[in-house]
Amino acid sequence: MAEQEASGLQVLLHTLQSSSDKESILTILKVLGDLLSVGTDRRIHYMISKGGSEALLQTLVDTARTAPPDYDILLPLFRLLAKVGLRDKKIGRKALELEALDVTLILARKNLSHGQNLLHCLWALRVFASSVSMGAMLGINGAMELLFKVITPYTRKRTQAIRAATEVLAALLKSKSNGRRAVNRGYVTSLLGLHQDWHSHDTANAYVQIRRGLLLCLRHIAALRSGREAFLAAQGMEILFSTTQNCLDDKSMEPVISVVLQILRQCYPKSPLPLVTASSAYAFPVPGRITTEPPHDLSEEDFEDDGDDEVDKDSDAEDGKVEDDDLETDVNKLSSKPGLDRPEEELMQYEAMCLELSYSFEELQSKLGDDLNSEKTNHHHIPAAASSKQHCYSKDQSSCGQEREYAVQTSLLCRVKMGRSTVHLGSKKNPGVNLYQNVQSSSLRRDSSESEIPDIQASLKADAWDIDAIFCPRMSASFSNSTRTREAVKVIDKLLQTHLKRVPFHDPYLYMAKARRTSSVVDFKMMAFPDVWGHCPPPTTQPMLERKCGVQRIRIFEDIRRLIQPSDVINKVVFSLDEPWPLQDNASNCLRFFSKFESGNLRKAIQVREFEYDLLVNADVNSTQHQQWFYFKVSGMQAAIPYHFNIINCEKPNSQFNYGMQPTLYSVKEALLGKPTWIRTGHEICYYKNHYRQSTAVAGGASGKCYYTLTFAVTFPHNEDVCYLAYHYPYTYTALMTHLDILEKSVNLKEVYFRQDVLCQTLGGNPCPLVTITAMPESNSDEHLEQFRHRPYQVITARVHPGESNASWVMKGTLEFLVSSDPVARLLRENFIFKIIPMLNPDGVINGNHRCSLSGEDLNRQWLSPSAHLQPTIYHAKGLLYHLSSIGRSPVVFCDFHGHSQKKNVFLYGCSIKETLWQAACTVGTSTILEEVNYRTLPKILDKLAPAFTMSSCSFLVEKSRASTARVVVWREMGVSRSYTMESSYCGCNQGPYQGLQFGTRELEEMGAMFCLGLLILELKSASCSHQLLARAATLLSAEEEALDQHLQR
């Protein structure tokens, strides 16, 4: 049957080419038209495969060359060619070879006054010009001049032909040679004039497609540097900007406005960032590295102007997706185990970090008793007695038992049983609501707060101090005896006594003591109020911000307005790390900024208009890149006024800020009113590519990289408040050190073995803590000591990337849970030894970096061959793992906690040889590879347990670009099959109980606890799990028997 159909079609096509009978030709054309008008595109492709395009083109040429041409045949022929040509990618080349290109152009010229004939010719030219090379050929033959005779100023006549002509011209201008020809002949000015004319007359928007066609022509010309220059010289920016301002909200004008926006963005002059240098404002002399002069940004002439388009994105573009060409397909590299990267005798030093393997119970008990009385740990921890002179809480606030009880009010399994966890929902009806909005009215009813805050503020004002400035000096030895500092301490004491709300596992005095020992590159003299005062999670979980339609468009048009209407632009630098201090006049009508405190990052602030500021964040120390993390203080604001902040030198091509994420805000006045809380805030949020480019000199001769703007508006809750804004909930190095000391003092020493060691000193001179947590042996009997020393290890690390503060909040939840009285935590301690490095990059965290250490390197790309001098934390973390492996104690699970900026939820990355090879479609050697699938068990468990976790985002592929990460190196070199990176979104969840909600610190800490529960269930599900552990689990968790049964199904 198929052969009969094929032969029938071929007969029709052959007859069409050979027949000179008009009726026969018309009949065949009608039959072909009927065949192609029904069914799918498969019929058209089939006809093309049988030579249908060539038959139609040859018939066109033969008919056109008869005298006179028969348009009864030509018109249906053109219609068929227009339909077939849309599916035939080679139609232009075929038309050229059969001379149909020239024939059609000639027919068009002859029919300029005949609308229908001309329209059909234009339809054919449109498909011929779909090939850029054929478009260039048509341009050489004068097609553009012809089209400008068709495209006239506004008229209601022949509008179909005019529309078709604009579409053909737009197709022709995709050719660079045609674009240059258009510039040289002044077509840019002509097109702008035509656009203005049609725009002003087409008040009913009846001819939007013609206007769009004209704009598409301009957009293609603007792809050339000369085209952009001609566009700017012709006042194109001003013309397109002014013609669209009155129709931005008209949905029928969307086809026009979207192209206008693309042209304006293309033609906006590219410029360097308003910085003296692309390098960080902070410099650190790296041992053994020659310091070079930092590269300076050059003038505009130094830029390679790419003129690329960017279409607004409305869906997640997740960078977690692995490109197949990045997958490691070398089976030897995947399966081989490299040798040690250091002399074996070096591993002996790590025995001192595993004292739990050698202590006798008496020695251990004695050592712990000594530690309790040692100066090293006798800081201002939570004391038992009240004394303001000793800088401590009152007795009823500070017992260690209460710290433990706060952490685990209900057991973890009980929360799982209740439906994963308790979700504190915010208002989904108004997702942009500010949690502080109702604070002002409610605080008026607080007698104690209302009566004392004004008095304190008055006293501060009299002494020319603001709350933040008094509270936050680090009080280092160099000026601790000054009169002003003593006065500041008195005010601090008064504030703490009257306004401090107890924050679990936090002590402001201990924090201040620890901060004095924290070493920073520029020796910070101030501490941020939120870090000292503490943070309590908000009472409700905040929903993701519903993105306002057109918000990105509005902000881009504002950028254009600033360029073409600069009269109201203030352009005043009000804060800069690069320029002499102070730049700010307290009496001036502008916000005051500050960022020179731990983890702070704001390099420059420029007042654009009264309530709008451009902000630039600092590059990582010893680097020219990684601008993403921000954390700064702002004061001097007016309440109930939206302030716009534009962070103009972000680097990532997309962000969760486009998909519901909000930055975080902390109000000092709110903290003094009893709400010491970081909250999500901001509206009119979007993230988009801007006109700034890095100079080619800085980029090493390559085309300068693009920058992106994060813009958001904040309405502050109080007048003259002091607020802090951050990319995510900050968690400083000093906060960690404070937390560890308080945890150590909170544990029951008879039950919990909690030890702090120093893994190493960082480049910046800060100790990197190593924490060991397990259960004390039941007694000093040989049996109990043997069980104690042979518990398997679990190794957890975090915060190798400083900007991923969410990883620290997850780690905080893990640490607090492991030392808690929860029965799951007790079981975990009794059966495992936890080695935890809670912050692998202290220097980066301290100095406000986003990605790197002080050496300017991403430490999670240094695990293959780390240097003890340049990457000490990685070198010694790997050494510790080597040591455990060498004594046959490799961890059951290794997990490195991270944060993810472009995906939602929490998920794991693991390692699998077979999955990697399958994904890469590489089957060589896979049949001989033996690989257990136990690496999938833990993520499957977490998918059932944790409300924030999703298995669907997990990946077990090994990429070439990740070969030197902790996950891959621990998997390959230490043979840990369950080696993971756990990623937590900066934003929130799009699945499960937390769907549509942003993460708060409560949810992140909960994930840390859930991870621990997952480790226990992983062990209980394993074939090697002892009957003793199963029996112990049944005894301790009898109250949660149903929940336990649910997760122990094998």
| Phi-psi category of residue 660: left, alpha or beta, with phi > 0 → left and psi -120 to 50 → alpha | left
Cα gap 802→808, rounded to integer Å: 9
Helix (H, G, I), strand (E, B) or coil at 980: strand
Q: Is 720 marked active-site?
A: no
Beta bridge partners of residue 834, listed in sequence order: 773, 794
Report the chain's terminal Cα–Cα distance, integer Å: 57
Phi, psi of 437 (to 5 degrees): -60, -35
Sign (positive or negative) of CA dihedral 683, 686, 692, 696: positive
Sign (positive or negative) of CA dihedral 226, 228, 231, 233: negative
Helix (H, G, I), strand (E, B) or coil at 989: strand
Q: Which are the contacts of 129, defined by CB distance < 8 A and separation ≥ 6?
A: 92, 135, 138, 143, 168, 171, 172
Q: Which long-range contacts (CB under 8 A, 24 or more apart) does 105-111 make?
A: 105/138, 105/141, 105/142, 105/143, 105/146, 106/64, 107/64, 107/69, 107/74, 108/146, 109/146
Beta bridge partners of residue 646, listed in sequence order: 614, 711
Cα gap 922→937, rounded to integer Å: 25
Phi, psi of 600 (to 5 degrees): -70, 145
Cα gap 780→934, rounded to integer Å: 36
Q: Which one of the listed residues 983, 1003, 1019, 1040 is annotated catalytic?
A: 983
Q: Which amino acid is at 816?
A: E
Tokens of 916: 């990697």
Cα gap 302→277, rounded to integer Å: 14
For the chain, what is the largest distance between any 2 Cα atoms, rounded to a whole number of angstroms?
115
Q: Which amino acid is at 680?
A: R
Q: Which are the contacts of 156, defined by CB distance < 8 A and separation ≥ 6?
A: none
Sign (positive or negative) of CA dihedral 79, 81, 86, 87: positive
Beta bridge partners of residue 894, listed in sequence order: 795, 979
Helix, strand, coil fractions of the chain, as percent rounded to 5? 45, 10, 40
Strand 979-985 with 906-909, pairing: antiparallel
For residues 20, 23, 25, 30, the Cα torsion angle rounded to the nearest 10 degrees is 180
Cα gap 903→938, rounded to integer Å: 20
Q: Report the side by side order of strands in the sheet with 793-798.
A: 752-761, 767-775, 833-837, 793-798, 893-900, 979-985, 906-909
Strand 767-775 with 833-837, pairing: antiparallel
- Give the chain's length: 1050
Cα gap 818→837, rounded to integer Å: 14
- Angstrom distances, CA of residue 323 to CA of 318, 653, 916: 12, 17, 11
Give the DSSP per-residue string, 870-914: TSHHHHHHHHHHHHHHHTT---SEEEEEEEESS--SEEEE---HH
Task: Determine contact, residues 386/393, Cβ cutoff 8 Å.
Answer: yes
Three-state helix/strand/coil letters over 519-547: CCCCCCCECCHHHHHCCCCCCCECECCCC
Enumerate the active-site residues. Answer: 983
